[in-house]
Amino acid sequence: MPAFINGYDKPALNAPEQRQQAALTMAEEDDARIRILQSLRGKICEAKNLGPVSGPNRQRDLCTFCTISLDQEEVFRTKVFDKSVSPFYGEDFYFEIPRPFQCLSFYVYAKSVFQRDLPVGKVSIRKDDLCKYSGKEHWFSLHPVDPNSEVQGKVHLEMRLNEVITENGSLGQHLVVRIIECKELPLISGQNCDPYATVSLVGPARSDQKKTKVKKKTSNPQFEETFFFEVTRSSSYSKKSHFQVEEEDIEKLEIKVDLWNNENLAQDVFLGETRVPVKILRNDHIHKAWYLLQPKGNGSKSKSDDLGSLRLKLTYIEDTVLPSACYTPLCNLLLKSPDVKPISASAAHILGDICRERYEAVLPMVRLLLHHNRFVPFVSAVAALELDNTQEANTIFRGNSLATRCIDDMMKIVGKNYLAVTLKPVIDEICDSNKACEIDPNKLKEGDNVEVNKENLQVYVQKVFSSITQSSSSCPPLMCDVFRSLRHLACKRFPGDPHVQYSAVSSFVFLRFFAVAVLSPHSFQLRSHHPDPEISRTLTLISKTIQTLGSWGSLSKKLSSFKETYMYDFFKSFQEDKCIEKVKKVFFNTPRDSCVCPDREVQKRAQGRKRLGKRNFKKRWLRVTNRELSYHKHKGKEALCTISVKNIQAVEKLDESAFNRKNMFQVVHSEKPLYVQAGNCVEASEWLEVLGQVTRCNEGRLATFHPSNYTSGSWQCCKSQSNSAPGCKPCTTTMLANLQLDIDCDRETERIFSFLSSNDTKLQNMEDACASMAVYQGPQREQEEYSKFTIQEPKETFQTLKQLRNIMEELQRQHNIRNDTAAQYGSLDNPIVGKTS
């Protein structure tokens, strides 16, 4: 009798093989929900002893910059460093990696005015080797940039041996080679290539070559071409040796596949090669597999020592994110943390306790608590615990504790746009005007006047404070909620100190937020690059001044207590302007919540709107604020087109097939869609994120969209002939949170699981400490390892630890199940690394 499941007439699964098939199907559906998410964070520190680009006379005039490439796609570039063979770049970078890649490369180029920039050298690190360098600085030797080594992509091949009867009636063999397709070939001059392949049978005394057709404008060509090569055999052939070539021949013959880009009038560009020995058919009648394309082994060689070296700091993270249901137990345990008494027995506090040396371990926990609106009660509880152990009011929140780390991360996440609104205009003015502010007599340049410099510094400091005191409407409500809680806790702990409620807040607002952002504006996306040494010195002086003047603790001191004499005049002006009262109004009141992100200018070079077909792509500067999206012919010039943010209905990716262009997205609004091509995959991802943030609260957002374009009377994606037809694909889900944070809770929980797993020994030590303390109630003779943990209630803490361990074991089991079904060697996801020349 049939069983009805979800309205479909479906036979019941009674047979064992049917139940097994159903289980496999469910496992495949689970695997489809597994995500591999990659990110890269690091710093291009400096280069040393860069070699000459063209002869020894070029060395002294070397102006260089550095780029980062995923395979052959550039995704980051430093500014140009003038005339130095040992430049200090000091450029921080972070980006999500939105696609698979094989190699991460750092190129050093010499800037040229009249011709193409010349490569000095490169550092290439295969993806599998990135973990060796994670988290620490390393010096890497630069290697020559050889065009024959700049390859990427995969090729799908099939080989077999066929028996044939020759013209004279004897038996012979044909080697049949089928080139099926390629994937992920590089862009050429920013556009899809025109690839073709040559297939050669290579041996000691022969080299037969055949060629496929050229495929136009694609990085994933479908060849589906078959080639036949005659293979000779010895006269001792017998039926016993069926489908075998003589042993000598097999060892020497190989198939060589080269990929090229057809350049028509110019020389064709080498895209990569792979070599497959024919002897692989001794065991398999048919061999079918994916191969990674390799560089030519006979490229130009030179000593890397002559090119110099590059100091880099890299942290590559790859998270295997399982289906959401796998993370529910761990997520729920962490979210209960604010309610656990005492707070030190909670899962979130235990994570911070065992990962004290790893500052980044707190960030995923903060993001998870923010997403679920549990951050304020948790940080209030850990702050109260810290205050209980603070003996003097003037040392309040000065250490690197769990409370300060959580609040630091919260301010960086929630206050990112707030910093852009408040400080970016002032920072831009300081960097662009570059007035001398040096007040140290030992560092003055010839002709500088210390009084003039002090006036310049005071003007800059006043502008910074003015921007802060006028930022009440932009200050995030969550920051004010946290600061209000800190004030109440501080007053309760030190009731006799009238200044403690202010110093509790100022230790974060000025010491850990504004002063740090002024000191390193590039780290907070306030400037695109690390400032020059002179500007960096000016920013250091401003940062130090606002840090001192903004400290509420200084109110209880005499003016004569300032170490720097110039600070006396600054503080008098600070008091006269009543800056203290103005700052109170910003951080001690709750500003009105705003649904739309504050103004944010992001400059990217993109392609313009589609009006007259494919040829109407032009380079434009794209600018977005919380009110409008506009594009300009040149940076800073009048807008050619302006779109109100509130009229934007969707921001989505565009299929590559729409215009044969990669990294495209579309802005759907009340008029025709705006089609934009970003410079690379990272920029495209950033644009989608930024535009999604400022439009996520729009009332007229669409539920569906068209992933392709409308041309020749129909939509290319669904073939609907109506220009106004509803979309055929669901729009990206948006989260209408009051913080407007796009947080992937599954990914954050996976990160927390990784940190807990890597500190399993400390978890075990903490369990042992709890067991020891619970059993022995006398005076504690703490072991050195136990003293590092905060254990107030050993029984409560032990219970949480056991829950954590059980959850971690189950999560690890889920990972192991999926690791057991890893991609087969030779598949698309795990291609074979073939031989090279």
Look at residues 738, 697, 705, 747 and name the one whose alpha carbon lies nearest to residue 724.
Answer: 705
Average pLDDT on 537-548 reads: 87
**Residue 174 clears pLDDT 90, i.e. is over it:** no
Encoded amino acid at 449, one letter: N
827: number of Cβ within 10 Å: 13
What lies within 8 Å, CB to CB, of 235 at 6+ separation is none
Average pLDDT on 67-87 reads: 86
**Residue 427 clears pLDDT 50, i.e. is over it:** yes
Helix (H, G, I), strand (E, B) or coil at 167: coil
Domain spanning 39-142+309-317, CATH class: mainly beta
Query: Checking DSSP bridges between strand 286-292 and strand 832-833, what pairing results, if any?
Result: parallel
What lies within 8 Å, CB to CB, of 671 at 6+ separation is none
Do 178 and 287 form a contact (C-beta atoms < 8 A)?
no
Task: Express as a percent the part of the chain with pLDDT over 70.
Answer: 78
83/110 Cα distance (integer angstroms): 10
Q: What is the pLDDT of residue 740?
A: 55
Model confidence pLDDT, tens digit, residues 235-290 = 433 444 444 444 446 678 899 999 999 987 788 889 999 999 988 887 777 899 99
Least confident of 346-350, 548-552, 567-571, 662-666: 567-571
Q: Which CATH superfamily is domain 390-588 in?
A: GTPase Activation - p120gap; domain 1 (1.10.506.10)
- Mean pLDDT, the chain, as a whole number? 80
**Residue 214 clears pLDDT 90, i.e. is over it:** yes
Look at residues 652, 605, 600, 656 and name the one whose alpha carbon lies nearest to residue 628.
Answer: 600
In the beta sheet, which residues pair with residue 323?
Answer: none
Domain spanning 154-233+249-292, CATH class: mainly beta
| Main-chain dihedrals φ then ψ at residue 178, nearest 5 degrees | -115, 120
Average pLDDT on 428-446 reads: 86
Which of 194-198, 296-300, 529-533 ranks highest by mean pLDDT? 194-198
Place of tokens 């991609």: 823
pTM: 0.73
Do 326 and 735 form a contact (C-beta atoms < 8 A)?
no
**Residue 430 clears pLDDT 80, i.e. is over it:** yes
Do 289 and 826 form a contact (C-beta atoms < 8 A)?
yes
Hey, do 39-142+309-317 and 154-233+249-292 end up sharing a CATH topology, with the first three levels equal? yes
644: number of Cβ within 10 Å: 12
**Residue 20 clears pLDDT 60, i.e. is over it:** no
In the beta sheet, which residues pair with residue 201?
Answer: 208, 255
Model confidence pLDDT, tens digit, residues 783-828 = 555 667 888 899 999 999 999 999 999 999 999 887 766 667 788 8
272/204 Cα distance (integer angstroms): 23
Place of tokens 């995969």: 154
Q: Where are the domains of the chain?
A: 39-142+309-317, 154-233+249-292, 390-588, 595-608+615-730
What lies within 8 Å, CB to CB, of 771 at 6+ separation is 794, 798
Fold of 595-608+615-730: PH-domain like (2.30.29)
What lies within 8 Å, CB to CB, of 193 at 6+ separation is 185, 186, 187, 217, 218, 219, 261, 269, 271
**Residue 768 clears pLDDT 80, i.e. is over it:** yes
Q: What's the N-to-C CA distance of the chain in angstroms?
A: 64
- Between 693 and 354, residue with greater pLDDT: 354
Res. 754 pLDDT band, cuts 50 70 90: very high
**Residue 193 clears pLDDT 50, i.e. is over it:** yes
User: Which contiguous run of DSSP H or E holds residue 799?
Assistant: helix 794-820
User: Which contiguous run of DSSP H or E holds residue 175?
Assistant: strand 171-183
Place of tokens 């065992």: 354
**Residue 299 clears pLDDT 70, i.e. is over it:** no
Q: What is the pLDDT of residue 248?
A: 46
Encoded amino acid at 775, one letter: V
| Residue 785 token pair | 């390892």
Q: What is the pLDDT of residue 733?
A: 63
**Residue 157 clears pLDDT 90, i.e. is over it:** yes
Query: Checking DSSP bridges between strand 674-677 and strand 664-668, what pairing results, if any?
Result: antiparallel
| Residue 677 token pair | 């091509």
Chain-centre distance of CA 624, in angstroms? 21
| Residue 509 token pair | 């607002």
- Between 614 and 522, residue with greater pLDDT: 522
| Cα distances (angstroms) measured from residue 2 to each of 12, 15, 23, 70, 699 | 6, 13, 19, 53, 47
Look at residues 119, 115, 114 and name the one whose alpha carbon lies nearest to residue 65.
Answer: 119
Look at residues 243, 220, 112, 101 and name the one whose alpha carbon lies nearest to residue 156.
Answer: 220
Res. 60 pLDDT band, cuts 50 70 90: low
Model confidence pLDDT, tens digit, residues 368-418 = 999 998 999 999 999 999 998 888 877 788 778 899 999 999 999 988 888
| Cα distances (angstroms) measured from residue 135 to each of 43, 256, 315, 375 | 10, 40, 5, 28
**Residue 230 clears pLDDT 50, i.e. is over it:** yes
Task: Compute the chain's Rg from CA coordinates.
Answer: 32
- Between 453 and 557, residue with greater pLDDT: 453
- The beta strand positions in 266-305, using DSSP E, are 269-277, 286-292
Query: Checking DSSP bridges between strand 254-261 and strand 704-705, what pairing results, if any?
Result: unpaired
